[in-house]
Amino acid sequence: MLSNRRSSKYVPLLLVVLVILACRQLPAQDAAQHLKPLIDPAVATKADGKVRPGEIDGTTEAYLPIAFPSSHAANLLQLRNGDVLCVWFAGSWEGESGVGIVISKLKKGSTTWSATRLIDNHAGESYQNPVIFQAPNGDVHLFHTTQGAGAGEANAHVLHVISKDGGDHWSQPKLLFEKPGSFTRHPLLVLADGSWVLPLTYVTSFGIGKGAETNYSSVKISKDSGATWSECLIPDSGGKVQPSIVRGKTGFVMFLRDRASAHIYRSTSTDACHWSPPAPTVLPNNNASVQAYRLKDGAIAIAFDNSAIDRSGPRPTGGLRKPLSVALSPDDGVTWTAVRDVEVGRTGYGLAERNAKQPGREEYSYPSILQLADGPLMVAYTYRRQTIKVVTFPEDWVKKGHSTGLYTR
């Protein structure tokens, strides 16, 4: 295992990254699909962490510094001192050897995210889906999955690391959950009584396709600050995965990804342990991650790919990972009264470019969303697997726009 004390030598210069990307060859199958150029050199040029006026009026944006060829699955956390942390996994490609967990920090008052640093990686293992939170005592906890390189997600476990200085230095990882297929994605929630609630998915298949309908979800609960955990399974959650949990107006609300690529699903609980069977919402889902956040005014904001499976042709076609939208609900996700696109993607790029297992492919996915202490909403998401893009905007910005996706209000 590698701690951040040794991480600097694993962060190549941007020039080296560009050379690696340029030298990667498309598989013959993908070449036969006449893919459009995937790598966009302009993305690497912009990936300096600087916060700039966004391409969409009323927003600011930053492209986080590139340390490895491929980046995916961001999560955000604002510390109590005002700093914002963003963590994700990066390496050659998802599931390959040595893919590790990385971090960038936006210090309070700064307009530039820090250089991307490696928290940890391990040869022969592929780390994925980091989730991060700050405990009441100030420690920053990070949980992430690990799986054997190329072995598929059904053998995954969950590891745990801690930082006592706001994300600058990290402990060596320890095994947290050893049950095969244990998979994290969304942040932990601390209840009023101090209990920790960590949403979890069990992956019973090699990946997200064949057999994934048998994947299911749970929550882990600790009443002793992570020393021991109990488990509450989500009933009837086959094929409903990666639960994102927020406080409701009377209890708790959960939103889940749909392996069938049809709808975002919703479940409720009065105690964060006993949950209702997930039911479809009006929001579409393309078998990609969604994340919700309870806002200060009581509304729920959710970030998601506004697309789903297309059954209009002779064969069903999986939904694109675009547009990336944010929707608002005043009633705990029963109805959604506003929606707006954060990212619409490149025109002319379709399923072939999304399916190519190459950095640069047409994908804007796995969003993380939070409301900053001073009010604006911040969304971080996978940007063509080349980097993580962070977009910030006021809540009212969502109400003043529209979406080009399936759900348009």
Query: How many CA atoms are closer than 13 Å to the CA of 80, on its beta-carbon side?
Result: 9
Q: How confident is the model at residue 105 (pLDDT cuts 50, 70, 90)?
A: very high
Is the model's pLDDT at 4 over the cut of 50?
A: no
Q: What pLDDT is recorded for position 18?
A: 37
Lowest mean pLDDT segment, chosen from 138-147, 215-224, 313-322: 313-322
Q: What pLDDT is stored for residue 317 in this prediction?
A: 82
pLDDT value of position 30: 41
Model pLDDT for residues 355-372, shown as the tens digit of each residue: 999 999 999 999 999 999
pLDDT reported for residue 318: 80
Closest CA to 65 of 81, 80, 50, 85: 50
pLDDT tens profile 12-36: 444 334 333 433 444 434 443 579 9
- Nearest CA to 130 out of 139, 122, 119, 138 is that of 119
Go through 49-72 and write b for each residue having 16 or more CB atoms within 10 A of its CB, e for each that does not.
Answer: beeeebebeebebbbbbbbbbbbb
Stronger pLDDT, 316 or 385, i.e. the higher one: 385
> What pLDDT is attached to residue 312?
84
pLDDT at 7: 42
pLDDT in tens, 295-339: 999 999 999 999 999 888 888 888 899 999 999 999 999 999 999
The confidence band for 69, taking pLDDT boundaries of 50, 70 and 90, is very high
What DSSP string runs through 131-186? EEEE-TTS-EEEEEEEEETTS-GGG-EEEEEEESSTTSS-PPPEEEE-STTEE--S
pLDDT confidence of residue 209 = 84
Instruction: Note the pLDDT of residue 27.
Output: 45
Using the predicted structure, report yes or no on whether residue 270 has a pLDDT greater than 70.
yes
Residues in CB range of 314: below 8 A, 6 or more apart: none
Average pLDDT over residues 56-68: 98
Q: What is the pTM of this model?
A: 0.92
